[in-house]
Structure 1
Amino acid sequence: MSDADLRVVAGDSNYDVRPGESFTFGRAESCTLRIAPDDSSVSRLAGEIERDGSVWFLANRSGSRPLAVVDRFGLRSVLAPGSRAAIEGRVRVVLDGARSHELVLHGPEPAAQPDVAAVTGQPTSAGEGVLVNEQDRLALVALFAGYLQEGDRYDPNPKSYAAAAARLGWPRTTLVKRIEYLRSRLVRAGVPNMQGWNALSALAEYALTTGLITKEDLRLIHR
């Protein structure tokens, strides 16, 4: 596999896609990868992977069914019919039918970030100075473990406080107070969306994209 190629992993099967080639997947026999031929919830032509210039793209070729795209942080987005998205690094694609089907795409790594020293203006300070200790991290992993899982265990939604506390063997009130105190510190440090009806989802996005918790931290709740 060269640096210009893209690899598709589906279960135990690997496919290397080269520039100039197209990789299709769906229910139809004509697809490169045939998925669930007897499941009418899966589109006959669900998606296509192809290179345009120097960039690999995932395109939704279905006329009615969305695709779910899971980035390297475990965050899920919806790719609507007719839309496409660039593939950078490791990306998971989920097709929901009678059961979920997952493809793992290994594309080129994201471009290097610009040299911070060359960027002018005030530095970003949101969240700066907020210390997260081991107990905070345990609470975050228990709440957001679903984002860190893969396959059938992947669930891009926060657990309930009760379920997360039970996983740790803590009283529910202990977990709630720890998370609320962490959110209040982040608010004071300028992190947006830490209050309101969607605060837990926003906290999950913050914890995942800043690296506060990673897949390796699942070991903390699996001991």
Structure 2
Amino acid sequence: MTGVEMDHQNATTPDLRIEFCGEWFEPQAPGPFTVGREADLAVDENQYLHRRLLSFTYENGLWWLANVGQTIGVSLSTGDGVYQAMLGPGAKVPVVFPRLVLLFTAGPFTYELAVHCAQAAFHSASVVADVDDPHQMTIGSVALTPSQKLLVIALCEPLLRDGLAGQSQLPTSAQAAARLGWPLTTFNRKLDAVCDKLDREGVPGLRGGVGKLATNRRARLAEHAVLSRLVTPLDLPLLDAPS
């Protein structure tokens, strides 16, 4: 079963450390410690990025993470796929896990950073999955065909190769289609199918519509796939395997 287990320790002010591009930052209580274009942690000069997107504050015995931006959603996960959530603008969550991986996209770039809390209250419970069909991969009740999995790997390739490098530029649909040797129409059709599958399972941000651009949908799919371990760096050789 997926879940979390409580670590009953009497904690004082927990140490919080943030890892970005190989550098470490240590917010001091009570904060705030901000992340954005012009912030305590300035991740990039990208004009699509809010001047301040994230804020860490220490309140009521816990560190809290808030999305203080206006339009950018932030994907967060324990890194093992056990716990995953979307932090929308105005939302706020306590930092209760030893390690959280955060992904967010601004314009063509996706940024990744890790948050470490030395005295977190929870830790992930391990999950064991059974895979009976070698031609499909199942996450919950979502099964990807081999070609659908290749599509996801192609979209996520920069993130999977860069790891916690901090900044990656996701491929366009045309670039990902060319990487796979597919016509763009085939790629878009399969992208629709993957997004529909995940949308039916409750993954937000994958439905088209007014104000929901294809770029945002691709970025959200890549963020979800990496954080949920739908694809991992071990899958990268599949891109160059004979078809």
The unaligned stretches of length 5 or more in structure 1 are 116-125
TM-score, structure 2 normalization: 0.49
Quick one: distance in 1 between partners of 2:191 and 2:41? 44
Q: Is the 8 A contact 2:101 2:112 kept in 1?
A: no
- Tell me the CA shift for residue 101 of structure 1: 7.8
Aligned match of 1:55: 62
Partner residue, 1:212: 230
Match of 1:85? Answer: 93
**1:22 equivalenced with 2:31 (yes/no):** yes
How far the C-alpha of 1:177 sits from its partner, in A, is 5.9
Whether the 8 Å contact between 1:139 and 1:179 is mirrored in structure 2 is: yes
Structure 2 Cα separation of the partners of residues 143 and 9 of structure 1: 24
- Residue 139 of structure 1 is matched in structure 2 by 151
Larger proportion of strand? 2
Equivalent-residue separation in structure 1 for 2:227 and 2:41 (angstroms): 33
Counterpart residue number, 1:118: none
Partner of residue 152 from structure 1, selected from 162, 167, 173: 167
> Helix, strand or coil for the counterpart of 1:91?
strand
Q: Which has the higher contact order (CA 8 A, sep 6+)?
A: 2
Number of the residue aligned with 2:74: 69
Inter-partner Cα distance in structure 1 for 2:228 and 2:30: 35
Per the TM alignment, residue 7 of structure 1 is displaced from its structure 2 partner at its CA by 0.9
SS at match of 1:22: coil
Runs of at least 5 residues in structure 2 that lack an aligned partner in the other structure: 1-11, 128-138
Larger radius of gyration: 1
In structure 2, give the amino acid aligned to 1:8.
Answer: I
Correspondence 1:4 to 2:14: yes
Q: CA distance change for structure 1 residues 212 and 58 in 2, over 3 Å: closer, same or farther?
A: closer
Change (3 A) 1:52 1:214: farther
Aligned pair count reads 193
CA contact under 8 A between 1:67 and 1:93: conserved in structure 2? Answer: no
| Native 8 Å contact 2:75 2:224 kept in 1 | no
Cα shift at 1:25? 3.5
What root-mean-square deviation, in Å, do the aligned CA atoms of Structure 1 and Structure 2 show?
A: 5.5
